[in-house]
C-alpha cells in the first residue's frame, strides 16, 4: 500500500479531530492538551461538514455563527463531520485565526498577533515564533485527541458525551 492510499484511509481521523475540538469547545469552553496550557477554541465561519456516504455529502455553512445554527446540528445528527473550518484559538494572551482542512491538515490564512512597533527583523522573529507556537499547540491538541481516540476504554465515554452534546445542542 502506497503512502497516498494510507493517507486517504486515515483521513477520517482529521475530520473526527475537528469535530471533537468543536464538541470540546462548546461543552467545556476550552480544550486542555496534556502537559500544556488550555486552549480556547472558537469556530468562525465558514464551516464545511462532510459525510462519507449519500448524495448530499457536503454542507457548507456561512454566516455570523454557523457552528451554532440548526443546520449545523442537523448535519452532525446525520453523521457528517467537520471537514474544514475557520477557527480562532487562544492560549493565554496569544490568539491565532486560521482555516484548517481536516482531511490533510492544511492550514491556510494563519493570522498571528501583531508584535507592535518593533524593528522589521525583530517583528519577523516574533511572528515566526508565534507561528511555531501555533504548530506546537496543533500537535499537542492532535496528540491529546489521538490518545483518547485510540484508547478503547477512554473513547467509549467520550462518544457518549458527544452524542449527549448533539442531543442537547
Instruction: Return mean pLDDT, the chain.
Output: 90
Predicted confidence (pLDDT) per residue in 75-87, tens digit? 999 889 999 999 9
Predicted confidence (pLDDT) per residue in 3-24, tens digit? 667 666 667 899 999 999 999 9
Q: What is the pLDDT of residue 6?
A: 60
The yes-or-no verdict on residue 114 having pLDDT over 90 is: no
- HSE-CB at 28 with a 13 A cutoff on CA atoms is 15
Predicted confidence (pLDDT) per residue in 81-113, tens digit? 999 999 999 999 899 999 999 988 999 999 998
Contact 64, 44 (CB under 8 A): no
Q: What is the DSSP letter of 117?
A: S
> pTM here?
0.89
The grid cell for 75 is: 448535519
Contact 34, 140 (CB under 8 A): yes
- Listed in sequence order, the residues at least 6 apart from 42 whose beta carbon sits closer than 8 Å to its beta carbon are 25, 87, 88, 89, 90
Q: What is the mean pLDDT of residues 58-74?
A: 90
Q: What is the pLDDT of residue 4?
A: 62
Amino acid at each position: 500500500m502506497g503512502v497516498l492510499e494510507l493517507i486517504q484511509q486515515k483521513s477520517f481521523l482529521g475530520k473526527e479531530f475537528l469535530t471533537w475540538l468543536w464538541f470540546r469547545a462548546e461543552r467545556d469552553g476550552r480544550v486542555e492538551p496534556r502537559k500544556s496550557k488550555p486552549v480556547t477554541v472558537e469556530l468562525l465561519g465558514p464551516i464545511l461538514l462532510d459525510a462519507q456516504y449519500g448524495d448530499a455529502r457536503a454542507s457548507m455553512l456561512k454566516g455570523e455563527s454557523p457552528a451554532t445554527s440548526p443546520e449545523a446540528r442537523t448535519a452532525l445528527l446525520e453523521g457528517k463531520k467537520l471537514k474544514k473550518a475557520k477557527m480562532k484559538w487562544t492560549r493565554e494572551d496569544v490568539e491565532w485565526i486560521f482555516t484548517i482542512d481536516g482531511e490533510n491538515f492544511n492550514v491556510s490564512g494563519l493570522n498571528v498577533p501583531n508584535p507592535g512597533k518593533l524593528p522589521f527583523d525583530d517583528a519577523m522573529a516574533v511572528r515566526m515564533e508565534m507561528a511555531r507556537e501555533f504548530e506546537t499547540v496543533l500537535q499537542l491538541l492532535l496528540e491529546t485527541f489521538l490518545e483518547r481516540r485510540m484508547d478503547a476504554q477512554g473513547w467509549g465515554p467520550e462518544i457518549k458525551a458527544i452524542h449527549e452534546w448533539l442531543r442537547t445542542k
